[in-house]
Structures are given as C-alpha cells and as structure tokens.
C-alpha cells in the first residue's frame, strides 16, 4: 500500500526576522489526517512556523510544502483554515454576518455558514453581535471561520488559550473528530495536559525542534508522570 499523502513537509526551514533567528533549521512532516500538537514556551517560534505554513511569513531558506504545494501558492488559500491568536472577526457584525462574509470571500456555499455554526455549537448566538459575546464564544466564532468550506488542513494558533476547562475539552473533542474525518489539524498550545490528547507532539524551543513523538514517548523518555513536568524537564535538559 502506498504511504498516506503528506499534509505538511518542512525541510530545513529557517526564518530570520529583523536580524534575529526565529526558526533555526526545522524539518518534519505531517501525514494527512494527523492531529499534531505544536508546543513550546512563548517566543519559541510556534506562531512564526504557523504563519510560514500559511504563506504570510517570508521564509529565509529551506522549503515548506502544504498539501503538496509550495506554501503561499494562491490555490492553497481556500484549502487551509487558519485561526490566529487574535480572534480576527468583526466585533460590530453578528455571528452569522461574520461567517457569511468570510464564506463569500472563500467562495464556499452559504449553507456552510449554518453547518459550521452547528459544529462549534454557536446556533443560539447566530443573530448576536460579536461584541456582546464572551471571550470563549468569540474564539468559537473564529474557529467556525477557519472551518468554512471544510478545508483539508487546519492551522490553529492557541485556540484554547483563556478558555474554561469544559470548553477546552469540547474543543479538543472537535479537533479529534475533525482529524478522525481525515482533516489534518496542527494546533499550538502551551498547556501540556490538553496537548497530550494529540496523536503526536512537536516541541519547539528557541526555533529548534526538541521533540517529535507521541505523548506516551515523552513521558517514557523523561521518566516523568505528568506532561507538564516532562515538558519542563525536556526544556531544562536542552539549556
């Protein structure tokens, strides 16, 4: 049987921004349908890596392919769903108006608006102005925008930051479900325990890839009981 197609292929990726090296020389691949957690302390380069994959960050050297195409290729713009750290939605529009506008820009069917609201459980808020929603509700709107048109690759930058535990659990269930349906999901986080739900972890520190394996392997390698301790241990070992 042929190996599954690769959703992400990064090879010796290097990003230098204003004379500081953000990503040193990253190489890894992600197969289609994987749920991958991207972890690391703040400033480790997680967002820069995600923005590179989206094609909005200039790459200094090396190469990055998403869904088989060079990142930044116009055709990729409808095939990657992106959720940034800022909610990046219009506060002075209703939930439905936000989704309808982005659906129009993406050129996906308008039925997708109701469908994605259903996935993130936002139906009862459809007519509410985003400015009247809580932080958690706003991030769900932002996630819904990323899900429009069911893109085969999702890049989610700290989607659960600042959310309550119940909502975080729900979101991770959604991610797992999406991955189960064949979507490749790359999620960044700095909360270790929740990231342990991923099939695979990438640990980034100062632009280097420290670890790339399953959560169970992380515990085994560091001989720790909790993911948080294992994470700290790994970072201390490296410095």
Partner 1 sequence: MSLRRTWLTMRRILQQLGHDPRTIALLLVVPSALMGLLAWSLVNRPGSFGVLGPRLLGVFPLIIMFLVTSVTTLRERTNGTLERLLTMPLVKAELILGYAAAFGLVAIVQSALVSTLSYTWYGLVHQGIPWRISAVALCAGLLGTAFGLALSALAKTEFQAVQFMPAFILPQLLLCGLMVPVALLPTALRYVANVLPMTAALHAINPLQSTSYYLEQFCVMVAYIMAALFIGSTTLRRRTK
Binding-site ranges for partner 1 (CB under 8 A): 17-18, 51, 54-58, 72, 74, 77-78, 80, 82, 84-94, 97, 101-102, 104-107, 129, 145
Residue written as token pair 């993406």 = 106
CA distances from 169 to 81, 117, 165 (A): 21, 18, 6
Region of residue 238 (phi > 0: left; psi between -120 and 50: alpha; otherwise: beta): alpha
Compute the least distance from the CB of residue 162 to partner 1, in Å.
15
Compute the least distance from the CB of residue 24 to partner 1, in Å.
18
CA 20 to CA 22: how far, in whole Å?
6
Compute the least distance from the CB of residue 90 to partner 1, in Å.
6
CB nearer to partner 1: give 73 or 217: 73
CB nearer to partner 1: give 47 or 189: 47
CB-based contact 115:149 (threshold 8 Å): no
Phi, psi of 112 (to 5 degrees): -60, -30
CB nearer to partner 1: give 28 or 101: 101
Compute the least distance from the CB of residue 104 to partner 1, in Å.
4
CB nearer to partner 1: give 86 or 111: 86
């Amino acid at each position: 049987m042929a190996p599954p197609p690769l959703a992400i292929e990064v090879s010796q990726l290097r990003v230098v921004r204003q004379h500081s090296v953000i990503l040193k020389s990253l190489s890894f691949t992600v197969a289609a349908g994987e749920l991958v957690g991207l972890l690391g302390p703040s400033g480790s380069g997680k967002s820069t890596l995600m923005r590179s994959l989206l094609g909005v960050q200039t790459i200094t050297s090396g190469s990055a392919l998403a869904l088989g195409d060079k990142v930044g290729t116009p055709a990729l713009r409808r095939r990657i769903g992106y959720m940034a750290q800022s909610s990046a939605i219009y506060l002075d529009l209703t939930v439905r108006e936000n989704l309808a506008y982005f659906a129009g820009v993406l050129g996906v069917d308008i039925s997708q608006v109701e469908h994605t609201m259903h996935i993130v459980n936002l139906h009862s808020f459809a007519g509410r102005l985003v400015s009247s929603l809580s932080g958690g509700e706003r991030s769900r709107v932002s996630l819904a925008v990323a899900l429009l048109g069911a893109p085969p690759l999702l890049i989610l930058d700290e989607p659960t930051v600042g959310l309550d535990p119940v909502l975080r659990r729900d979101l991770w269930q959604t991610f797992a479900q999406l991955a189960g349906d064949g979507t490749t999901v790359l999620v960044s986080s700095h909360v270790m325990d929740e990231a342990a739900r991923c099939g695979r972890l990438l640990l980034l520190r100062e632009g280097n890839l420290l670890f790339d394996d399953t959560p169970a392997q992380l515990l085994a390698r560091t001989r720790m009981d909790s993911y948080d301790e294992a994470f700290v241990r790994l970072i201390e070992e490296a410095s």
